[in-house]
Chain A
């Protein structure tokens, strides 16, 4: 039988590295924010996987069920999702303002504009 025990965690690591790579490698701010979101989601998946108990059901007390999953990590992730949404909203608002101020959301073009400003 194939051992699926750590499958979730491999997905988590893959997503995490993908997210970080996108943040670092892309110059477009929207793409950076997408990378940031992927990165955050990987941690959310990590917590959700951690709360799962093998053979356990959803943590709602009912007759006939003995084993329940741990609800705490799941609840924590509700907060983390809210934080993620707030961060994304703020980041997007900043990107809108940057686009108004510079006329571009490409990091290297903005850097060029700022370098020209400094030179003059």
Chain B
């Protein structure tokens, strides 16, 4: 055992990508659903553990730089893990591992059995892409991993129960490919100016080049491309359909990871590659981002209030939550960025928990329409209690994680001297209260329809992951040293102009 550890201890960053990639093909070879699930489980939990080790190593010994294939940086491809992406990596792999616990029961009801092994293969490929995007130190690599994760997520979304999953998948594919191609174009322009693709080297070279129209156009292309993948208002139109019609666990997985990694890429480009002065000085890009963020907060929440399908309601709520993250970035100060980054963690945990609740509901009720929630508080008490707690976290009630991120966002707004924005953040929380309350009211105070007595509590294999996530919204709402501690250290590093 010690021998094995000595062999792999220095290669952990590479294994983070290589193992899921190979395991995906293994899933296709074994074909049996439970065997494929076992492979995926071992790999996902192993990746989570690996991400934990990497974060610990970054905290204790500093940034990890890994030269892939032994080619020296900056000529070869570098995997570069610092506080920021170690944190995001831990969130992404953690969500992957926890959602996978609920997957077998949930997809049994939604996907034909003979396709299950392909589902797990696509799931692992998507995880590979997301982990790769997060830890790579090479901008072209970001594009490649982005496409790996996107292609597998289109395939996952198209597996939904209704035929509308197909149209929403191709809608997402068209938007996503346009976004990916814009990112590629931007990267090309950066390479044209600097002759390098390595993030650290790129930042140094760009500092020497100074303001330049090609660099500005590159920043605009990358901003639009990442904006589409992040679903920042008004580039979010693919998101509600994709989340609504995808299989329930796929929604839980993608809602909690894909947009979060896109947010990480935006932060990485804004603060590490272009550096803060180039991104914000003289371009008004923070004013644009701030306007879009605030518009998303209100438009997303307002539309959510009028949705009849609760899955769609939570999808619009995601648009609003992404608005908060973008708003945090646009303050370009330590508190604001901390708020944005900690919201990546908090929203991932909360929204994933809520979408798993919906997975339980759709398994038992066969629908996620508001009418299916009538009297659910009495028939599926544990499931519905999880919904209520997750909802409180979305609103941002104290003692939940949602409060922690809003606290930092408000501090960021005040620090930037923008108290009206702080008022807007609080006002938009009231809208969240309205759309959550609609469901709670129906769940607790409305009589269940006749002949629905046989509805029982969700199976344990789905309740456990749901409660792990909902439980962590409470734990990390009180104990903030992991989430907010690491996020604020990462924000300090980025604002300080580090790499």
Contacts and interface: CB of A to CB of B under 8 A. Distances in A.
A43 B167 contact: no
Nearest to A29: B170
Nearest to A70: B195
A75 to B, nearest CB: 10
A43 B186 CA distance: 10
Contact of B173 (A72, A73, A80, A87): A87
Main secondary structure of the interface of A (DSSP, over half): helix
Interface in B132-191: 140, 143-144, 147, 151, 154-155, 158, 163-164, 166-167, 169-170, 173-174, 177-178, 180-181, 184-185, 188, 191
Nearest to A40: B181
B109 interface: no
A73 B163 contact: no
A25 interface: no
Given A94-B154, A94-B166, A94-B173, A36 B178 contact: yes
A87 to B, nearest CB: 5
Contacts of A76: 140
B30 interface: no
A87 B169 contact: no
B184 A80 contact: yes
A98 B170 contact: yes
Contact of A50 (B155, B170, B191): B191
B158 A97 contact: yes
A91 B163 CA distance: 15
A36 B151 contact: no
A68 interface: no
B188 A94 contact: no
A81 to B, nearest CB: 12
B494 to A, nearest CB: 27
Nearest to B154: A90
Interface string A69-105: 0001100100110010011001100110110011000
Given A23-B174, A32-B174, A46 B144 contact: no
Contact of A87 (B140, B177, B188): B177
Nearest to B140: A76
B156 to A, nearest CB: 11
A95 B169 CA distance: 10
Contacts of B144: 79, 83
B167 A87 contact: no
Contacts of A98: 163, 166-167, 170
B151 A114 contact: no
Nearest to B221: A43
Contacts of B178: 20, 23, 36, 39
Nearest to A94: B170
A36 B174 contact: yes
B188 A43 contact: yes
A97 B178 CA distance: 22
B51 to A, nearest CB: 26
Given A50-B191, A83-B144, A110 B167 contact: yes
Contacts of B191: 50, 72-73
B192 interface: yes
A90 B185 contact: no
Given A50-B192, A86-B151, A102-B163, A40 B170 contact: no
A40 B140 CA distance: 15
Interface string B20-31: 000000000000
B79 to A, nearest CB: 17
Interface of B: 140, 143-144, 147, 151, 154-155, 158, 163-164, 166-167, 169-170, 173-174, 177-178, 180-181, 184-185, 188, 191-192
10 contacts: A36-B174, A36-B178, A43-B185, A50-B188, A76-B140, A80-B184, A86-B147, A87-B177, A98-B166, A102-B167
Interface of A: 20, 23, 29, 32, 36, 39-40, 43, 46-47, 50, 72-73, 76, 79-80, 83, 86-87, 90-91, 94-95, 97-98, 101-102, 110, 114
Given A23-B178, A114-B164, 7 more contacts: A36-B174, A40-B181, A43-B184, A79-B144, A90-B173, A97-B158, A97-B166
